[in-house]
Structure 1
Amino acid sequence: MKKLISTATTSLALLFAFNAQADTIELRAATLSPPGDVWGLAGERFAEAVKERTNGEVVINMSYSGALGTAAETIEGLAFGTTNIVIQEVTQLDGYDPLAGLGTYPYLIRDYEHFNQIMHETEVGQEFHDELESRTGFKLIGSGFRGPREMAANEEINTPEDLKGMKVRVPSYQIARDTWSMLGANPVPMSSSEVYTSLQQGIIDAAENPLEAHIRSKYYEAVPYIIMTDHVNAYYTFLFDANYFDGLPEDVQQILIEEGDKAMEWGSEQIVSKIDGYIEMLTEQGAEFIYPDKEAFQEKLKPLIDEYPQDMQNWIERFQSAGQ
């Protein structure tokens, strides 16, 4: 479903961004991350660099902890100017086009090295972003590695067979539901705000997220095990309404692209440098780490590609072969 934006809506977005001082462009940036989190800090670095390079003529005002709404609400707000920038995973666009769901396709991005090959050393990442812009009407700038998604579970899991019948919380993305169904679990779409209580009360048996989210949401208080499946390496990006972005002065566009790329690269480096510390911190909190048979998970998921149309299969193969 391609996003349709009227001329009037685009004009409204521009009016929000250009304040009464004709020489100043003010942009509202939204993130679900709290102040001090890596991705909130990445947004701050972006804002500071853009302000400096434009001599204060472009000001990015950060909003944290979902103060401007949920991920879906802030993305929708890009068309109306209630937000101008959203820091979010690319997969959040899957409601606009299914191709965006590849951001959570299992074992698509193998590790940080492979992520850099896709996003920085080949043209695959930029061409993927360009294709998403064409299909959805959103401009994607930069790519920030979140680290692998791991499971928090109420029992040990060593092979896919151990998942049979388990209720696993998943994001609302179709590919996430398909993944856990193929692995034999019962996927339960649920808001992230409900996960802790649902784990604690046994409404679900497991959830999956990057380790920084395990710490932020204190999953270790609700269930004892962390299963290191490394099944998804998702990434963040800066989202803009493409029509609005194209209406900005060309020199401002170039600065936003350059500094957005740098800020997301900085965020990636921060996450990678912290993963060992996350493991140590979670161990100190009493979490027990289980290292399952990842090859068995990968083998079980091989037929998943056949569930999707040929154009998505082509992109999956391009991602998987990048750098080879």
Structure 2
Amino acid sequence: MKKGVLAAFMAAMLAFSLTACGGTGTSESTDKASSDSSSDKVVTLKFAHTVQSGTKTAECIEKFCEKVEEASDGRLKIENYPDSQLGDDDEICDQIYNGAAMLDYVDPAKMEDYYADYSILVTPYFFDSADEIKEFAWSDLGQELSEGCAANGMKCLDNMGGYYGARQIMSKKEIITPEDMKDVKFRVPSTTMWVAMANAWGTNATSVAFSEAYTALSQGVCDAIENPVPAMLQASFQEVCKYLNMTSHMYAANGIVMSNKVFEKLDKDLQDILVDTAKEFDEWTFTEVSAEEKEAAEKMKEDGVTINDQVDIEAFKEASESIYSTYEGWSDDLVEKCQKTLAEIRGE
């Protein structure tokens, strides 16, 4: 579990930016939740994330910050720090785990070091459509996973119910089947699940920070990368990769996370505002990101990228199945529980 000395130090520096109105010192105790909405304390949280400015997701996060402050009559302020200003997701999550008064918007795989069961949501082809994300998030199992994560120190305000987009592969050559991925240097995040995905497809997993991916692709350190199309367009990957392969290997669920200790110390009405606004945020992401995906694909095409919609999805699904039997760290009955819940969602 990530509990580095540096993370602990930074967390201590950032923990509980709770300042009394008009004062400069730390506010009085929030050790017990209270429903007293007349409290004059001002709570300040930092929303630190790696989402790129200019994307619809970034706009939704900004809207979330504004809505929370408005709904709390200014008692809860959230400062927005996009574009990895305060570090990458691993660094931010370390600080959150160690008690920093921060939030992040992350995929479930980033919870792997704190609550491994959440990583199953990023198994390739786990969801058949984006709509299943919301239904799963607020199912009995979705609530169980959220509570399990909170018990391990990380509170997910929206049960991983946000939509980050359908993840596709950009590459320097056309990709039809997993065979075409052989010997390809495939940039993936450093999390275990993404590396497992790359291995299942027989490709060479190459862990490079997203902020360094353009350089890695242009210099041949990587040959391919996967992400939602809007994020790849914003990063200008169309300049170094001329194929957009529509694998749709993941309908990416994301969630707003914070320290459970920080959450529990907030007044009850502020907790409710955070959770309720996080649910609204999820709805915004589905509307805004879905529209943005279509526009981004069209812009890629205009920029000379070949849109490959002839991917053999079934071959990729079959290749991904091995992850369920080889991945270690999940609860013994987790796969079965997920299959049952998804079958219920699909009316099977």
User: So what's the TM-score if we normalise by structure 2?
Assistant: 0.84
1:123-158 CA-partner distances (Å, limit 9, x unpaired) = 332222222222x31000122111111111111111
Cα separation, 2, equivalents of 1:59 and 1:181: 43
Which has the larger share of helix?
Answer: 1
Question: In the alignment, is residue 28 of structure 1 matched against residue 50 of structure 2?
Answer: no
Give the letter aligned to residue 144 of structure 2.
E
Counterpart residue number, 2:327: 308
Counterpart residue number, 1:17: 17
Cα separation, 2, equivalents of 1:100 and 1:313: 11
Q: How does 1:216-235 map to 2 (within 5 A)?
A: 216-235=234-253
Counterpart residue number, 1:130: 147
Counterpart residue number, 2:130: 112
| The one of 316, 330, 333 aligned to 1:297 | 316
Counterpart residue number, 1:321: 343
The answer to whether the 8 A contact 1:140-1:239 is kept is: yes
More moved, 70-79 vs 292-301: 70-79
Cα separation, 2, equivalents of 1:294 and 1:79: 37
1:41-80 CA-partner distances (Å, limit 9, x unpaired) = 2222222222222211111111121111111111122245
Cα separation, 2, equivalents of 1:36 and 1:165: 34
Cα separation, 1, equivalents of 2:214 and 2:128: 28
1:272-311 CA-partner distances (Å, limit 9, x unpaired) = 1222111111101111011201011112222321113524
Measure how far apart 1:27 and its partner are: 1.4
SS in 2 for 1:172: coil
SS in 2 for 1:229: strand
Counterpart residue number, 1:206: 224
Cα separation, 2, equivalents of 1:319 and 1:224: 39
Q: How does 1:51-66 map to 2 (within 5 A)?
A: 51-66=69-84
Cα separation, 2, equivalents of 1:182 and 1:270: 32
CA RMSD of aligned residues (A): 2.4
Cα separation, 2, equivalents of 1:59 and 1:42: 16
Cα separation, 2, equivalents of 1:315 and 1:84: 32
Cα separation, 2, equivalents of 1:250 and 1:273: 35
The answer to whether the 8 A contact 2:172-2:242 is kept is: yes
The answer to whether the 8 A contact 1:227-1:290 is kept is: yes
1:76-124 CA-partner distances (Å, limit 9, x unpaired) = 222455442112222211122322322321100121122233124x333
SS in 2 for 1:95: coil
Q: How does 1:142-221 map to 2 (within 5 A)?
A: 142=158, 143-221=161-239
Give the letter aligned to residue 68 of structure 2.
V
1:215-254 CA-partner distances (Å, limit 9, x unpaired) = 0111110011011111112222111100110111111111
Query: Matched residue pairs, number?
Result: 318
Q: Write out the 4+ residue segments of structure 1 that deviate beyond 6 Å after TM superposition.
A: none
Counterpart residue number, 1:96: 114
Give the letter aligned to residue 315 of structure 2.
A
